[in-house]
């Protein structure tokens, strides 16, 4: 009987090795299935994308490629979009790497913000359209993590949820697709500001930078009465407007737009005379910009970085803003109204973090089934 023991041991060893090989093969196959690009087809479709739709809750952003290759926000009357941001969206999607297959259960999608339709408005739908009439590329983006950067997503019509390495700018806010600042001029460009009969100019001995309210003088004419306190407040406010001229919405110019005197400001700069022509409506103060370049003015800044002070090519700037109306931020509108009252001047709000994202926790281990 004992002579059969070696044979049984060998057989058992072989069976164990075969089982291990089979399990290892299945694990390797599963591993290969969760590696590589999430959307390999986008490599060929990237240059063919003609339109993009972003949907989240009740908000929608529509982008469309023009015949000259530029992109426009059709959801904002065709206002120019930032080409690099559009490219970043498409490239970001095409470079997402599979990291882990998560749940296939629709009832668990809400925990990853991947339910669609999404009554809570947490999931984001991205659609890419090509020139062909075929079905668009559609993907739902849910939670995102920053450390390391990863995205949770699934395709429309597919219950399989994934965690992918990488991220995309799929924000449904038109301001994320354009530079919402119009001007950020250095203080040295300012020469004068005029509003409602009051003119603010730098004193002859004023420093060229880091100016304070006391470095400016005011003069008024008989057209409007300014109290001493109001004039003092204007010295500290009006000179800095061209260094932070912003907007929070945009639309195509209306044919019946008539500016109001109390919303019209004229800034004399070294390179141009810039007139802000505004009027107050139910949705806020909307304004146009009229630009009169100064012959032989300061040369424009080359390759300015977003947010940094820069001197534009004023002729090109006039073309850029022509035909558009911009909505003044509420804090700027309140600033004008307070200048004509005796209330204290409000402080400017901090600049928004356009790159920041909410940090969300990773899914529980039960999602990995």
* Cα gap 342→331, rounded to integer Å: 17
Give the least confident one: 74-78, 214-218, 365-369: 365-369
φ, ψ for residue 2 (rounded to 5)? -70, -20
pLDDT of residue 28 exceeding 50, the answer is no
pLDDT of residue 47 exceeding 90, the answer is no
φ, ψ for residue 200 (rounded to 5)? -115, 130
pLDDT of residue 19 exceeding 50, the answer is no
Peptide bond between residue 117 and the one before it cis (omega within 30 degrees of 0): yes
More confident residue, 265 or 13: 265
First to last CA, the chain: 48
pLDDT, tens digit, 9 for 90 and up, residues 86-132: 999 999 999 999 999 999 999 999 999 999 999 889 999 999 999 87
pLDDT, tens digit, 9 for 90 and up, residues 259-290: 999 999 999 999 999 999 999 999 999 999 99
Q: Is 27 helix (H, G, I), strand (E, B) or coil?
A: helix
More confident residue, 304 or 251: 251
pLDDT in the model for residue 16: 47
pLDDT of residue 362 exceeding 60, the answer is no
pLDDT, tens digit, 9 for 90 and up, residues 149-193: 899 999 999 999 999 999 888 889 898 898 788 999 998 999 999
pLDDT, tens digit, 9 for 90 and up, residues 311-333: 999 999 999 999 999 999 999 99
pLDDT of residue 6 exceeding 60, the answer is no
With cut-offs at 50, 70 and 90, classify the pLDDT of residue 32. Answer: very low
pLDDT in the model for residue 9: 55
* Cα gap 224→184, rounded to integer Å: 29
pLDDT in the model for residue 33: 56
pLDDT in the model for residue 90: 93
Q: Kindly provide the b/e burial profile for residues 228-264, where b requires at least 16 CB atoms within 10 angstroms of the residue's own CB.
A: eebbbbbbbbbbbbbeebbbebbeeeeeeeebeebbb
* Cα gap 254→123, rounded to integer Å: 35
CA 319-325-331 angle, 5° bins: 120
- For residues 81 and 52, the answer to whether their CB atoms sit within 8 Å is no
With cut-offs at 50, 70 and 90, classify the pLDDT of residue 27. Answer: very low
- The structural domains of the chain, with segments of one domain joined by +, span 42-178, 181-339
Q: Which of 219, 59, 37 is nearest to 123 (CA)?
A: 59
pLDDT of residue 232 exceeding 80, the answer is yes
Q: Which of 225, 217, 186, 224 is nearest to 199 (CA)?
A: 217
């Amino acid at each position: 009987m004992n002579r059969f023991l070696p044979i049984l041991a060998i057989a058992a060893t072989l069976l164990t090795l075969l089982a291990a090989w089979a399990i290892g093969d299945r694990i390797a196959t599963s591993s290969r299935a969760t590696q590589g690009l999430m959307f390999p087809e986008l490599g060929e479709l990237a240059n063919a994308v003609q339109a993009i739709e972003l949907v989240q809750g009740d908000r929608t952003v529509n982008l469309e490629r023009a015949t000259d290759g530029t992109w426009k926000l059709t959801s904002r009357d065709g206002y120019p979009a930032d080409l690099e941001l559009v490219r970043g969206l498409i490239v970001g999607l095409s470079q997402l790497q599979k990291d882990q297959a998560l749940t296939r259960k629709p009832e668990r999608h809400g925990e990853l913000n991947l339910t669609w339709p999404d009554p809570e408005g947490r999931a984001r739908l991205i659609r890419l359209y090509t020139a062909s009439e075929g079905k668009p590329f559609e993907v739902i983006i849910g939670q995102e993590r920053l450390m390391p950067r990863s995205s949770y997503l699934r395709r429309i019509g597919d219950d399989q949820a994934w965690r992918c390495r990488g991220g995309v700018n799929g924000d449904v806010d038109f301001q994320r697709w354009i530079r919402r600042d119009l001007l950020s001029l250095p203080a040295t460009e300012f020469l004068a500001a005029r509003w409602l009969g009051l003119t603010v100019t730098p004193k002859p001995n004023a420093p060229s930078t880091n100016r304070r309210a006391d470095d400016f003088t005011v003069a008024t004419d008989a057209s409007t009465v300014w109290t001493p306190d109001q004039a003092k407040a204007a010295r500290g406010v009006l000179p800095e407007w061209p260094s932070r001229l912003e907007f929070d919405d945009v639309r195509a110019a209306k044919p019946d737009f008539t500016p109001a005197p109390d919303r019209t400001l004229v800034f004399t700069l070294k390179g141009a005379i810039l007139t802000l022509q505004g009027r107050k409506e139910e949705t806020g103060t909307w304004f146009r910009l009229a630009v009169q370049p100064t012959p032989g003015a300061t040369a424009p800044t080359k390759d300015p970085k977003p947010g940094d002070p820069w001197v534009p090519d004023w002729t090109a700037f006039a073309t850029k803003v022509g035909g558009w109306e911009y909505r003044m931020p509420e804090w700027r509108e309140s600033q004008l109204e307070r200048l004509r009252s005796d209330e204290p001047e409000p402080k400017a709000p901090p600049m928004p973090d356009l790159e920041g994202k909410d940090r969300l926790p990773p899914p529980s281990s039960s999602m990995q089934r």
